[in-house]
């Protein structure tokens, strides 16, 4: 994660805003899957201030969370001192092999892991902590419908330094009034996600389309379900 991104997530106002976001339509599908296996272990990677903590517990699961931003986890622990949550990089998760039945990379966490080599490392770590046939839920924007002109412009201005799908966002981007200053993100394509899944031991199984409040009318999000393949 870039310094600008980490600074953004460590702001108290960012943590407060993210903690109050609703459960999105795609995430209800994830919670439905969790309810079918009561007592399962869910790891919430990029958990922020704990937006999914209570819904996952209410679905009958055991919860563990991690986030690289200490500003997020501090608010999480203040609100839920009993929660099992730690500060950790997605490329170096704190859990043992085959620890969890379900992993969650919700609300575009995958897009903030830059560059591609780190996305591969993070997904390999997620596979390590998941049991065989465990489920991973990955949330992301639809590339062709999220700031497509800005994606093209950024790529052309940074040929040799940027991947197509990279963005650097400055200003107010529907973030509860919080100004972004050089926030970097990467919007993956379906082809890229297929390659990432195959290289890291996953099989893409299902997906749900949803939208949320945004200043970009064409914006659409997807939540995908991946299955951890046996070695």
Full 3-state SS string of 60-96: CCEEEEEECCHHHHHHHHHHCCCCCEEECCCCCCCCC
- What mean pLDDT is predicted for residues 110-116? 93
Q: What is the pLDDT of residue 215?
A: 45
Distance in angstroms (rounded) separating the CA atoms of residues 187 and 144: 9
Beta strands 130-141 and 221-228, pairing class: antiparallel
> What is the average pLDDT across 73-90?
97
Percent of all residues in the chain with a pLDDT value above 90, rounded to a whole number:
62
Q: Note the Cα 138 to chain centre separation in Å.
A: 6
Cα three-residue angle 51-56-59, rounded to 5 degrees:
145
Is pLDDT at 2 greater than 80 in this prediction? no
Q: What is the pLDDT of residues 7-54, one digit of tens each?
A: 888 988 888 888 888 888 778 889 999 999 999 999 999 999 999 999
**What is the model's pTM?**
0.92
Return the half-sphere exposure (C-beta side, CA atoms, 13 A cut-off) of residue 33: 23
Q: What band does 176 get if pLDDT is binned at 50, 70 and 90?
A: low
Are 140 and 218 spatial neighbours (Cβ–Cβ below 8 Å)?
A: no
Block residue for tokens 């200043």: 215
Per-residue confidence (pLDDT) for residue 217, from 0 to 100: 46
| Residue 218: pLDDT band with limits 50, 70, 90 | very low
Buried b (16+ CB within 10 A) or exposed e, 138-154: bbbbbbeebbeeebeeb
Q: What is the mean pLDDT of residues 174-198?
A: 84
> Do residues 228 and 202 touch, judged by C-beta distance below 8 A?
yes
Q: Are 122 and 113 in contact (CB under 8 A)?
A: yes
């Amino acid at each position: 994660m870039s310094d600008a991104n980490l600074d953004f997530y460590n702001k108290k106002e960012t943590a407060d805003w993210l903690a109050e976001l609703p459960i999105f339509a795609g995430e209800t599908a994830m919670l439905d899957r969790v309810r079918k296996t009561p007592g399962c272990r869910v790891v919430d990677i990029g958990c922020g201030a704990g937006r999914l903590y209570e819904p996952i517990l209410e679905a009958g699961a055991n919860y563990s969370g991690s986030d690289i931003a200490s500003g997020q986890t501090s608010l999480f622990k203040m609100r839920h001192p009993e929660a099992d949550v730690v500060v950790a990089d997605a490329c170096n998760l704190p859990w043992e092999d085959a620890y969890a039945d379900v992993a969650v990379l919700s609300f575009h966490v995958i897009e903030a892991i830059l560059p591609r080599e780190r996305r591969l490392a993070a997904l390999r770590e997620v596979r390590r902590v998941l049991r065989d046939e465990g489920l991973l839920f990955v949330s992301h924007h639809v590339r062709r419908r999220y700031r497509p002109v800005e994606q093209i412009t950024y790529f052309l201005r940074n040929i040799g330094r940027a991947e197509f799908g990279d963005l650097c966002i400055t200003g107010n981007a529907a973030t509860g009034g919080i100004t972004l200053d050089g926030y970097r993100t990467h919007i993956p394509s379906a082809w890229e996600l297929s390659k990432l899944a195959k290289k890291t031991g996953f099989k893409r199984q299902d997906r749900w389309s949803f939208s949320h409040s945004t200043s970009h009318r064409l914006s659409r999000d997807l939540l995908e379900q991946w299955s951890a393949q046996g070695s």
